Amino acid sequence: MFLEKLQHIKAFIFDVDGVLTNGLVHVTETGEQLRQFNIKDGYALQLAVKRGYHVAVITGGKSKGIGLRLKGLGIADVYLGVDSKLEVYNKFIKEHQLSAEQILYMGDDIPDLLVMKLVGLPVCPADAAEEIKAVSLYISAKNGGKGCVRDVIEKVLKIQQKWHDEAPSALEVGEE
């Protein structure tokens, strides 16, 4: 069932803290919040964009750095400071004319739960909250911020025969 669902995916939606990052926030003396992103996740994200998938990030976080990192990977649909992920999800699928079965959503905690119950393929990192694991059709062997995003994107692109590139670029989108 999981492998069959991978074939229908046209869009990825990710949370940030605990999915694209390990969930730790370093706070500087000036109050700036710093996060770490995994470079392998970044490669997979920009490749998904290049291959024509819709990629969105929906987060309650408001850090300017999050937006800069994600826009640099070519992700156009970045929603920061979101109170209701459901509202943003509904807007996203309507705007891109997607059905629920075409969406892979990766979340890790309670704010993701409602949307994860609606999408065709809810997935999570290995260290997600138990409530999230209970609704996920796939639990990555990787923790948040440690390659779980690469894991699911790679699975989708491989089953749809869009992963391999004869002449891959070492540059990420926005580095040129």
CATH 3.30.70.260 is held by the domain 2-159:
no
- Residue 171's pLDDT is 65
The parts of the chain modelled with pLDDT lower than 50 are 176
Residue 173's closest CA among 33, 99, 75?
75
Domain ranges of the chain: 2-159
Residue 138's closest CA among 160, 122, 114, 159?
122
Instruction: Give the global pTM.
Output: 0.91
- Residue 173's pLDDT is 52
Residue 173's closest CA among 79, 42, 11, 78?
42
- Residue 50 sits at φ, ψ, to 5 deg, of -60, -30
Q: Which helix (H) or strand (E) holds 45?
A: helix 39-50
